[in-house]
Amino acid sequence: MQEATMVKHLKIAYIGGGSRGWAWGLMSDLALEPALSGHVALYDIDFEAAQANEIIGNRLQDHPDAVGRWRYEAVQTLPEALKGADFVIISILPGTFEEMRSDVHAPEAYGIYQSVGDTVGPGGAIRALRSIPMYVEIAEAIRDHAPNAWVINYTNPMSVLTRTLYEVFPGIKAFGCCHEVFGTQELLAEMLEDMTGVTGVRRQEIEVNVLGINHFTWLDRASYRGTDLFPLYQAFAEKYAEEGFSTHGQKDHWMNNSFASANRIHFDLFRRFGLIAAAGDRHLAEFMPNTWYLRSPEHVKQWKFGLTTVDWRINNLQKLRERSRRLVAGEETFSLKSSGEEGIAMLLSLTGASAPMITNVNLPNRGQVASLPLNAVVETNAVFGANSVQPVMAGSLPEDINNLVTRHVYNQETILKAALTKDRDLAFRAFLNDPLLSTLTPSQAEELFTTMLNNTKAYLPGWEL
Amino acid sequence: MQEATMVKHLKIAYIGGGSRGWAWGLMSDLALEPALSGHVALYDIDFEAAQANEIIGNRLQDHPDAVGRWRYEAVQTLPEALKGADFVIISILPGTFEEMRSDVHAPEAYGIYQSVGDTVGPGGAIRALRSIPMYVEIAEAIRDHAPNAWVINYTNPMSVLTRTLYEVFPGIKAFGCCHEVFGTQELLAEMLEDMTGVTGVRRQEIEVNVLGINHFTWLDRASYRGTDLFPLYQAFAEKYAEEGFSTHGQKDHWMNNSFASANRIHFDLFRRFGLIAAAGDRHLAEFMPNTWYLRSPEHVKQWKFGLTTVDWRINNLQKLRERSRRLVAGEETFSLKSSGEEGIAMLLSLTGASAPMITNVNLPNRGQVASLPLNAVVETNAVFGANSVQPVMAGSLPEDINNLVTRHVYNQETILKAALTKDRDLAFRAFLNDPLLSTLTPSQAEELFTTMLNNTKAYLPGWEL
Amino acid sequence: MQEATMVKHLKIAYIGGGSRGWAWGLMSDLALEPALSGHVALYDIDFEAAQANEIIGNRLQDHPDAVGRWRYEAVQTLPEALKGADFVIISILPGTFEEMRSDVHAPEAYGIYQSVGDTVGPGGAIRALRSIPMYVEIAEAIRDHAPNAWVINYTNPMSVLTRTLYEVFPGIKAFGCCHEVFGTQELLAEMLEDMTGVTGVRRQEIEVNVLGINHFTWLDRASYRGTDLFPLYQAFAEKYAEEGFSTHGQKDHWMNNSFASANRIHFDLFRRFGLIAAAGDRHLAEFMPNTWYLRSPEHVKQWKFGLTTVDWRINNLQKLRERSRRLVAGEETFSLKSSGEEGIAMLLSLTGASAPMITNVNLPNRGQVASLPLNAVVETNAVFGANSVQPVMAGSLPEDINNLVTRHVYNQETILKAALTKDRDLAFRAFLNDPLLSTLTPSQAEELFTTMLNNTKAYLPGWEL
Amino acid sequence: MQEATMVKHLKIAYIGGGSRGWAWGLMSDLALEPALSGHVALYDIDFEAAQANEIIGNRLQDHPDAVGRWRYEAVQTLPEALKGADFVIISILPGTFEEMRSDVHAPEAYGIYQSVGDTVGPGGAIRALRSIPMYVEIAEAIRDHAPNAWVINYTNPMSVLTRTLYEVFPGIKAFGCCHEVFGTQELLAEMLEDMTGVTGVRRQEIEVNVLGINHFTWLDRASYRGTDLFPLYQAFAEKYAEEGFSTHGQKDHWMNNSFASANRIHFDLFRRFGLIAAAGDRHLAEFMPNTWYLRSPEHVKQWKFGLTTVDWRINNLQKLRERSRRLVAGEETFSLKSSGEEGIAMLLSLTGASAPMITNVNLPNRGQVASLPLNAVVETNAVFGANSVQPVMAGSLPEDINNLVTRHVYNQETILKAALTKDRDLAFRAFLNDPLLSTLTPSQAEELFTTMLNNTKAYLPGWEL
């Protein structure tokens, strides 16, 4: 449609990123985009990590394929990072992997297994309690130093953390960004090839209506060039219900790769509920009672998806740190390639550098999902235009699915309230009501809660534990 | 305030009542009320039972204490009963005790115990599926033959059946009537005696704000003559948390009487959630996950409440039938006494015979409970005036309790939809999501559902089972 | 029902009252009520007036009929008045009669006549702009010094001033109190005598459903002992449409008394719209376009209601001042009699000293009037209980009437916003949209607005005029 | 993005079109679009006109530039037209120009001038009363014969007629289509040239947020390539406030052309209200009180816009008829050119033949305009995708503008109800409340209403007049 416009002198504040992977993807994407230029302030509680990224980012400018002009600068304070920012990107690790080890693995003693442990379930709840105070601080700083900036949140638990930003600063222009829906669009594209022989379909060509909450999102409409994909998906789900089906992005994976799956949960949920769940199996499993998919490691294996251990994450971080060292030292050079994230495309639309785009996003519910509580952070499609993000009216979930989603919405609202008021009892009520704990007695759940809360207490200042 | 006005020539259509107890209470109440007179059409699918009640009711007119003038007449069809009715009272037994035996006891094979089995839980779900078609028929008949009558529903599951009436005939003037809240007011009155020595307080003097759904209703405010009762209840709940406390209406009971309890669940819920639950322990237990109060008969005994067996009900019905025979034969005479139900007081206000009254009632949510879904049937206080029932704005439940209630609301909406569309899969999804089944795997639940549905199939015409 | 309970040591803060009439009514009512006692802090910007009231109030205690024990004390600051208050009563004259002279009479130069000039119309708009800053100050003081007190507002424009209290302090427990609906209940009671010969009916026996905004309230249901009064009112309105009908409270009045009317506007509105307007004709006239009832003094005479001149008010105040002098000097003694206001009855219910009562009240809309904007202050019935005021769900106005009411609601919201932001242009947009100005061109309206605003500028600190 | 897909065998039902202009535009657009083919059923109450269009349409297929393959067929009944239709286009003249002459010119006797007379004002009200029964018939036919078709309404009054379709058949997939917003986008594009020298900007490049109702739509955001256009428009409105500014589409026009204007009302409304009104001056003027822009022909001349007389319309129709004759006879050939309407682009997105598009549309309010009543038909942007139209969340209008819009919304709701129930009194209440009549007394308005209703009575079967 409209040709791209050149937008110069943007300031981006990047909060977090010490864990490297995300930050490098952004740097790469920015370097490849000719329409934008400016500078990026890097803020991380690990200042050395930010400094390493400053060196790596600035070195990228010498890369022969780099067309966007960007200057990187590590800063020591949040206000410094935010001052004058047009965009704020938040991607932090709340706490360390030691706390995450407790989040993910402590419940195993009670027969509760978690595939990710960062969104819902006991792990998600504790992680939220730990992260919310950090997001309170960030939201206050944005209110005071960059009230007109667009704020893009990538951190999990995404719904509750984006919700925290709005609770603290209702005028914030923030949204949560997640690529899980894209994976389901890719699955539908590969289904076309598998079932009809049509090849080369890009995920963007799969039109979908998105509604739900982050990592528990649903599609009630999907089409390709005007053809309704639901009947085909029905046949596809029947065909692969037992055996499973992995996309190219997931191939050879689920046995060896803790991020992969064979989509058996996708197929099971579709056959039970009639809508297409639009997140990876690892996430979806955690939203259902633990008798469904997560009651034992063997059971998980039957469902053909992986449990991502924290040991794997620690090992992976070690590799990233080593790579960071090599990049800083100039021993390794980036090969620039697009990350596939929509972040840059969003920046282009938000700055007016390109025409409006439609993609899925997490925003407070103003009625875009009619059946979910107002103000909770929900995921739907939205139109990104110049200085504007407008959700589309996505309609309602059917009562049965809505019930499953609403339970998590109110749990998250309860956790937020508990975190803001440092109310241990209230936090426990939300914890206890999580579907993954549905087989525990209240006293077993209380025991587990006490253990897990204790393991994260360094991040709960002011709580009476 | 206003003195009573005499209202003559009322017509009441009484649907059901073959099970005797309720019908006789109403007859007794009507006989004792001087301000009203008219006639009552008795309709029951068991016409002989209706005829017996006709004889018993008309005989009451000769009772020396009877001051209201009423003529009773058994009729053979619903339209005949409804024609010209000012009030319709519905109190039916949906199916027989054989079906109820399955509702209540079939789940025991899976370790699921139910104390009543007529509201929620597996028993409540199946009972709803069986009753909804009956209520569809009743609602259509009211729409066609008595569209302006006030309709008082006493049958369980009350929320979903009252909801059915509105679904079929949105213009209906119906409400559901339940005395469980009164029991909690009595508990508070007896607490005053136990804790402060104040005696002689009537339940009507305990002001409460009521909000929730039938049998899972909550009080967020309770006072006596301007004194907030919550601090006192806190101490009371601590004092009797372990030992329990039975009201006069419950005394010497819970061990011997399947309707009694020691209110330990009342106290436990208050200590956990901070609001006062306002239904009997037997009902409250069924709304929570089965790991809480109902995981075994021994566990129930520890919580000091009774499981009402269907054998007990059958035995009790036998006694009522025998008593009916004696009353018809003139071998026994009624001793008239007020039932304690508010039905007659409501009639007086609705006819304008006495001033408006405030009591709790079940009505579609138009916002009286701001935090629950619109149109679901909720329980709050309402003002009963001449030809008018207006709920008061009761506010919102806190998020954590609201979550527990909403889960049942959507389950009930799903069951209603499933019953109307005869959709087995949808019905199963609601069944599976009931908290009492939270420890079962989907396939165990499916097995149980199939058994129970099969046991009630005579009442599911048109279903593919 | 419940016998009265004795409530001692109440503290009431009375703000305003220098204009005497209201204050004396309250003193009289308090003296006659045996169930309450305590002390009243009198605060007025005219401290001498407060001191006079202190003397008059304390002297009342010696009156032989005085049964309530009350101590009165004039205080010099708002915080002093509010500290420890259980109730706050606000009844102020915003500005002086000089400002009111402009409000009421300045528009006459443009052919715009006003019968009261304190609610809507050009006079109501300017009065609101002048009063809102005063209410901001009061609301802030209540928030800081008596956040848990019940606040009863009697000052006009009532809707917008009560709205201001909630805007500044959302947690306030305030409501607006007005007796205009009572006058319509009296009209209906006298109609019963005139049309059917039934005598002695008290206004409280007329059950009504109230919905709308203050002084533009409507009844969509009215009954007496169960008999619908609408058909009778239809005949009554036809009978007296031309001639008019004055109640005892209005008799011999409308020609001589600027507060009286012959209810011709009541009848005209009923014949046009089918609902009963429930405020005096003088108020109702001001809500309609000026071509309807107020286009000239002659036209007003034909409609048989009075224009209350500010000269009359000044003269009346002079008499009250003289009477105050005599009362202070002990030259005159009060004859205690009930004012007919419901204020004391409300206090009894709010303190729990008597059973809950139902009466009409002005409160923020939480859905009690489904068809009007949320948060606007609307008038409906409410249940007054111990420490609780709960509106009843009053339903919706029909679209045509709703349209007339909504126009004023949004005008008032606009005025509030303009007053808070000191935005002259925005204030003018609301002014210009008032129905009484519908015959003016925008430039004529601007000229009038400038004049009127200038006349009140002493009360608009910080405005750019 | 996505390349176009070929969609064959579409069926379009075209209802109306006897007035020729619209029908020919569509034919031309269809002929020029390569991605679509199928057949068009032409239905008009003037069957000969439909037959003429059949000949003209089929002849177009021989045109050298025609790439879309379409067969045209005049049919005699509505069911025949609708059977199997994928799309239904409605563009009718309700009644004849004789009725329209009364709509537009009868009020002039009372000093009420109308520039169009087909949307609001006395003319719009009467036209709505006449058209609604026709739309009831059409909606019932669609429900019975083409329930899944997409229905595009082009007839005025657009809001109330689209609303009628949903009232009769709530499941309809209908929307109203209007190009007035495009004109404002063009004005903004030409402003860029006039004020900054930037040329060649297409209207599609002007991003806007649209909210309001048809012909009384507002923009609260407008940008070009990321630059906020409001500050520029402020200067532009000041510059041309007196002199006016006509776009290329309007040049040399307003004096000679009854469709043109100099945008002085645009500028006046912006200077008063701060938002950009997004319809032509001729339409906007009719939504405001008649003292603003329409109080006399001289006044209209000062505001530099035209009054479209019905004589002009009759004359224009005569020319179209003559042209039709020549086209049928083959004496004239079409020169194919795009109409500039977005109808074809919408068809492409709705069929999935091209990627989703964003444009403005009229749809029932589900919350897309948060400040306007639910279910009223409102105008906002929407995303058109495959078999889907989803409004974007457009936010709220400021209270002062919202008040002006809401008044018309409720008037339209009242008119709809009056038309459906044939209630003359109710219709008059809406008529009387129109801002254009704000200077009339109720009896003058009644006189005018009686005259106008009488002139249209042939189209009001079943009314008691």
What does the pLDDT look like over A264-275, one tens digit per residue?
A: 999 999 999 999
Pick the catalytic residue from A179, A215, A248, A408.
A179
Upper half-sphere CA count for residue C284 (Cβ side, 13 Å) = 30
Predicted pLDDT at A402: 98
Q: Do D226 and A1 touch (CB under 8 A)?
A: no
Residue A387: closest C-alpha in chain D? D226
Nearest-neighbour CA in chain B from C434: distance (Å): 31
Predicted pLDDT at A2: 42
Pick the catalytic residue from B9, B105, B145, B179.
B179
- Picking from C2, C353, C393, the nearest residue to B367 by CB comes out as C393
How is residue B408 written in tokens?
A: 């049942």
Q: Above 60 in pLDDT, residue A240?
A: yes
Q: Above 80 in pLDDT, residue A26?
A: yes
CA distances from B183 to B189, B277, B392 (A): 10, 11, 21
A-C interface (Cβ pairs under 8 Å ≥ 3): no
Mean pLDDT, residues B217-239 taken together: 98
Q: Which of A13-22, B259-268, C157-166, D394-403 has the lowest mean pLDDT?
A: A13-22
Q: Give the three-class secondary structure for D19.
A: coil
Mean pLDDT, residues B213-221 taken together: 98
- Phi, psi dihedral angles at B365 (to 5 degrees): -75, 115
Predicted pLDDT at B342: 86
Residue D179 annotated as catalytic: yes
Nearest-neighbour CA in chain B from A112: distance (Å): 13
Predicted pLDDT at B257: 60
Instruction: Please state whether beta strands D276-277 and D216-224 pair in parallel, antiparallel, or not at all (unpaired).
Output: antiparallel
For residues A165 and A15, what is the distance between their CA atoms, to the nearest angstrom?
14
pTM: 0.96
Strands (E), D97-167: 150-153
Among B163, B268, B291, B428, the strongest candidate for a mutation testing the A interface, having the largest count of A CBs within 10 A, is B291
Mean pLDDT, residues B205-222 taken together: 98
Question: Hey, which chains touch A, using 3+ CB pairs under 8 Å?
Answer: B, D
Among B207, B348, B372, the strongest candidate for a mutation testing the C interface, having the largest count of C CBs within 10 A, is B207
Size of interface B-C (CB pairs under 8 A): 103
Tokens 């997560």 correspond to: A294
Contacts for B219-223: CB closer than 8 Å, 24+ residues apart: B219/B184, B219/B275, B219/B276, B219/B277, B219/B278, B220/B275, B220/B395, B220/B397, B221/C387, B221/C388, B222/B188, B222/B276, B223/C352, B223/C385, B223/C386, B223/C387
Strands (E), A27-149: 36-43, 69-74, 87-91
Contacts of D228 in chain A (CB under 8 A): 387
For residues C10 and A153, what is the distance between their CA atoms, to the nearest angstrom?
53
Strands (E), D262-395: 276-277, 357-364, 377-385, 388-391
- Picking from D272, D438, D441, the nearest residue to C429 by CB comes out as D272
CA A357, distance to chain mean position in Å, is: 20
For the purposes of burial, counting CB atoms within 10 Å of the CB of A77, is it exposed (0-12), middle (13-18) or buried (19 or more)?
A: exposed
Q: Do B226 and C366 touch (CB under 8 A)?
A: no
Q: Do C273 and D439 touch (CB under 8 A)?
A: no
Q: Do D207 and A356 touch (CB under 8 A)?
A: yes
- Picking from D205, D358, D393, the nearest residue to A366 by CB comes out as D393
For the purposes of burial, counting CB atoms within 10 Å of the CB of C338, is it exposed (0-12), middle (13-18) or buried (19 or more)?
A: exposed
Tokens 């009855």 correspond to: C345
User: Which residues 223-262 of D are in CB contact (within 8 Å) with C?
Assistant: none
For residues D90 and D177, what is the distance between their CA atoms, to the nearest angstrom?
10
Nearest-neighbour CA in chain A from D383: distance (Å): 7
Q: Which of B31, B57, B53, B55 is nearest to B43 (CA)?
A: B53
Among B163, B399, B443, the strongest candidate for a mutation testing the A interface, having the largest count of A CBs within 10 A, is B399
Contacts of C462 (CB under 8 A, 6+ apart): C422
Q: Which of D212, D220, D208 is nearest to D182 (CA)?
A: D208
Burial B180-198 (b: 16+ CB within 10 A, else e): bbbbbbbbbbbbbebeeee
Q: Do A400 and B429 touch (CB under 8 A)?
A: yes
User: Which one is predicted more confidently, B403 or D306?
Assistant: B403
Contacts of B372 (CB under 8 A, 6+ apart): B213, B365, B378, B397, B402, B405, B406, B409
CA B406, distance to chain mean position in Å, is: 19
- In tens digits, what is the pLDDT along chain C, a chain of 465 residues? 344 567 889 999 999 987 667 789 999 999 999 999 999 999 999 999 999 999 999 999 889 999 999 999 999 999 999 999 999 999 999 999 999 999 999 999 999 999 999 999 999 999 999 999 999 999 999 999 999 999 999 999 999 999 999 999 999 999 999 999 999 999 999 999 999 999 999 999 999 999 999 999 999 999 999 999 999 999 999 999 999 999 887 655 455 566 678 999 999 999 999 999 999 999 999 999 999 999 999 999 999 998 999 999 999 999 999 999 999 999 998 888 888 778 899 999 999 999 999 999 999 999 999 999 999 999 999 999 999 999 999 999 999 999 999 999 999 999 999 999 999 999 999 999 999 999 999 999 999 999 999 999 999 999 988
Q: Do A295 and B441 touch (CB under 8 A)?
A: yes
Burial C387-411 (b: 16+ CB within 10 A, else e): bbbbbbbbbebbbbbbbbbbbbbbb
Nearest-neighbour CA in chain D from A391: distance (Å): 6
Q: Do B392 and C390 touch (CB under 8 A)?
A: yes
Q: Do D393 and A390 touch (CB under 8 A)?
A: yes
CA distances from A325 to A14, A74, B134, D96 (A): 20, 16, 74, 82
B-D interface (Cβ pairs under 8 Å ≥ 3): no
Q: Do B388 and C209 touch (CB under 8 A)?
A: yes
CA distances from D261 to B232, D246, D258, D269, D300 (A): 75, 7, 8, 14, 10
For residues A92 and A118, what is the distance between their CA atoms, to the nearest angstrom?
13
Give the confidence band of B2 by pLDDT, cuts at 50, 70, 90: very low
D-C interface (Cβ pairs under 8 Å ≥ 3): yes
Q: Which of C28, C13, C23, C90 is nearest to C53 (CA)?
A: C23
Q: Which of A57-61, B267-271, C107-111, C393-397 has the lowest mean pLDDT?
A: A57-61
Nearest-neighbour CA in chain B from C350: distance (Å): 8
Question: Does residue B353 belong to the interface with chain C, where contact is any CB pair within 8 Å?
Answer: yes
Give the confidence band of A3 by pLDDT, cuts at 50, 70, 90: very low
Dihedral (C-alpha) D194, D196, D200, D205: value to the nearest 10 degrees? -110
Q: Above 60 in pLDDT, residue D3?
A: no
Residue C353: closest C-alpha in chain B? B225
Instruction: Please state whether beta strands B377-385 and B357-364 pair in parallel, antiparallel, or not at all (unpaired).
Output: antiparallel
pLDDT digits (tens, 9 = 90+) for B16-60: 987 667 789 999 999 999 999 999 999 999 999 999 999 999 998
% pLDDT > 90, chain D:
88
Q: Do D225 and A383 touch (CB under 8 A)?
A: no
Nearest-neighbour CA in chain B from C97: distance (Å): 40
Instruction: Please state whether beta strands D216-224 and D206-213 pair in parallel, antiparallel, or not at all (unpaired).
Output: antiparallel
Q: Give the three-class secondary structure for A407.
A: helix
User: Which residues 397-426 of B are in CB contact (within 8 Å) with A?
Assistant: 399-400, 402-404, 406-407, 410-411, 413-414, 417, 425-426
Contacts of B426 in chain A (CB under 8 A): 400
Q: Above 80 in pLDDT, residue B258?
A: no
Residue A65: CB atoms within 10 A of its CB come to 12
For residues B245 and B261, what is the distance between their CA atoms, to the nearest angstrom?
8
Residue A182: CB atoms within 10 A of its CB come to 19
Q: Which of B289, B132, B119 is nearest to B216 (CA)?
A: B119
Among A202, A207, A342, A372, the strongest candidate for a mutation testing the D interface, having the largest count of D CBs within 10 A, is A207
Question: Does residue A204 belong to the interface with chain B, where contact is any CB pair within 8 Å?
Answer: no
Predicted pLDDT at D248: 82
Among B3, B201, B390, the strongest candidate for a mutation testing the C interface, having the largest count of C CBs within 10 A, is B390
Tokens 């990072």 correspond to: A81
Nearest-neighbour CA in chain B from A57: distance (Å): 45
Sign of the alpha-carbon dihedral angle for D385, D389, D393, D394 = positive
Contacts of A426 in chain B (CB under 8 A): 400
How is residue C34 written in tokens?
A: 């045996």
CB C4 within 8 A of CB C354: yes
Question: Does residue C185 belong to the interface with chain B, where contact is any CB pair within 8 Å?
Answer: no
Give the confidence band of B329 by pLDDT, cuts at 50, 70, 90: very high
Tokens 């372990």 correspond to: B242
Size of interface A-B (CB pairs under 8 A): 74
For residues A381 and A181, what is the distance between their CA atoms, to the nearest angstrom?
10
Average pLDDT, chain B: 94
Q: Do D410 and C417 touch (CB under 8 A)?
A: no
Predicted pLDDT at D251: 58
